Each structure stands twice: as structure tokens, then as C-alpha cells.
Amino acid sequence: MKKIIIPLLLLLATVDCYSQDNKEKQLLISTKQDQKEMNATVTKSAIEDLLSSYSEALNNSDVLKTVALYVNQGIIMPNGAPLSKGGEQLRITYEGLFKAFELNVKYNIDEIIISGDYAFARTHSKGTGLIRANAQTIPIDNKELFVLQKENGQWKISHYIFNNNMK
């Protein structure tokens, strides 16, 4: 009987150690997954804040704040207008836009995809634009794609393209 009990006790002790080790591994995996999900939530929140700041800067006709939301060599590709690249060209583009229009636009986020230090945000926006030259108000209905880049720990706009949904 002793010959059976001792190996059985050793087997039970081994199983218990394996079970405990497995529980610790599962906890570690679960903790890493929780951390990953938390990081994704924080990143999405930072991107949402960036797009909200962009909308606010446009609606306030704030050239400096708008341009500051782009990376150093940021690009805007507007519908029916030439591409602008880099701080100086972006500044000129937004000065021209704000001189011609007063915007009241709200961005709605349809999708955010994150991959390392880059992210893509697909949005749509609606609002109005007041043409300053004749005080005429026109509707705005666009769809947009933002390519975002983490620069010095902050999310910024790398590339921005949009087109008009109006016919």
C-alpha cells in the first residue's frame, strides 16, 4: 500500500504545482491583455481629442492651432484644390480658407485603426460655411480620412484628405 500511496502523493503534488503554475501563466496573459486593451482605449481617446481639437480650431478660424495639430511635414489634400505640405504651406492654406469662410463643422468618427505609431481615422462631417465675401451660408457634408502619427509622444495629423458628399 505504501508503494502506491507515495507515488500517488508525488503525482498529486506535481499536478497541484502544474495547476498553480498554469493559473499564474493565465493571470499573466490576462493582465497583458487587459494592459493592451487599456492602451488601445487611451490611444483612441487621444485620437478623439485630437480630432475634436481640429474641429474646434477650424470653427474658431485659428490658423496657428490648426497647423500645430499636424506633424512637421503634414499634408492636406483638399477636394478640388492643390496639396499643401509642411508648416508654411499649411499656414497659407488655412489662412486662405479662414479668410474666405467661417466654418461651423462637427466631425463624427466612423472608424479608428491603430498600428504602432500610426493610426487611421475615417470620419464624416456636417455643418455650414459662411462665405465671407457675400454672407451666404452653404451646407458642408464631407467624408474624410485622417492618417495620424505619434510625434514626440503626441498624436498629430500626418495626412488629411476629404471630399464633398454634395451633388
Range(s) of the domain holding residue 134: 2-164
pLDDT in tens, 130-152: 999 999 999 999 999 999 999 99
Number of domains the chain contains: 1
Whole-structure pTM value: 0.78
Q: Tens of pLDDT along 47-83?
A: 999 999 999 999 999 999 999 999 999 999 998 889 9
Domain CATH number, residue 135: 3.10.450.50
Phi-psi region of 35 (alpha: psi -120 to 50; beta: other; left: phi over 0): alpha
